Amino acid sequence: MKLSIPRACGSWSKSPPVSTTLHKPISFYSSIPSSSPLKPQVPLFLRPPIHSATLSDLQKWHHWAKTLPVPHSDDPPDPTLLRRELKWLLEDALEVHSSVPQMGSHSDDRPIKLRTSLEQLYSVWRQRIEERRPFQYVVGCEHWRDLVLSVQDGVLIPRPETEVFVDLVGDVVTQNGDLTQGLWADLGTGSGAIAIGIGRILGPRGRVIATDLSPVAVSVASFNVQRYSLQDIIEIRQGSWFEPLKDVEGKLSGLVSNPPYIPSDHISGLQPEVGWHEPRLALDGGVDGIDALLHLCNGAASMLKPGGFFIFETNGEKQCKFLVDYMENESKGNFYDVKIVPDFAGIQRFVTGFHH
């Protein structure tokens, strides 16, 4: 699992739109109101420009950042990508983006307004280079479809391949209008990306319940839902897998999930930005990577209403084929029209189907 190429977030700050987090089930559930007690971090590009530095001091930081040595690694970061990230970090940090081209070598004591302190810029770029902290965590956001989503440490960064969820839901509700008016669930919502994408498709006649065990993820997802004014459509609940959905058993029109599916002994071999920093709870799928996927298959049979649709993301072809075989044999009679769907790269990534 690799991180996608990040993009600067600041260019979207004035015009919002117009790449999961649970282990084995536990008995825990709480309803999260619109104002979560755990306050999420505000993405850099949304922070007020209350800090300042001289252009000369900012130039010194920029030169230091460009020349900061990258520690030796068997999987080093792409130098071209790092240069882009440095530019994007500046764009998000500066109140006026036009200051970026002025980053020459001449001395200039003009004050520059910043959204974070110069000391913090030194700190976060050192973390990016020396600790391989994901750039998305550094700036606090990630582009996903036409959204700019808040992310932070403890929340899985949404990947481009997961965007296919929204396309698949769009296709199925176009063919079956009844699903548009129904109740959907996104289990292990993380940043809320999939739930938000689906909620925008369903519109005011639909409803989405997004669940996650992690209080950090619940807080961040709530922030993202409110930022896109979807709190009347999407409800965030904290809890493990189906535990928060007992009141809607057998009533779901749709069920989607991007669960942890990396085999446990593969975690250490992941890209450092992923394996060292992203929440293991969102990555580790057990010995074969299928613990959560099997739990989802078994639960879908009781949670979906007749004709209800499901999508599960997997690690690839092997897991896809295993799930299809499991549903057609071990869960025989529960599902129909079970298919394997590739991602944008042509990798067999998703299993979809309907409940009898």
The pLDDT of residue 37: 59
Low-confidence ranges of the chain (pLDDT < 50): 11-36
State the pLDDT at residue 96: 85
pLDDT tens digit sequence for 156-214: 999 999 999 999 999 999 999 889 999 999 999 999 999 999 999 999 999 999 999 99
User: What is the spatial distance between Cα 356 and Cα 350, in angstroms, rounded to a whole number?
Assistant: 20
Residue 244 in contact with residue 238, Cβ under 8 Å? yes
Degrees, nearest 5: CA angle 264-282-233: 155
CA angle 105, 52, 111 (to 5 degrees): 55
* Intervals of CATH 3.40.50.150 along the chain: 160-355
Hey, CA dihedral for 141, 32, 354, 196, is it positive or negative?
negative
Contact 252, 303 (CB under 8 A): yes
160-355 classified as CATH 3.40.50.150: yes
**Percent of the chain scored above 90 by pLDDT?**
82
Residue range 126-147, pLDDT digits in tens: 999 999 999 999 999 999 999 9
Tokens standing for residue 260: 């942890």
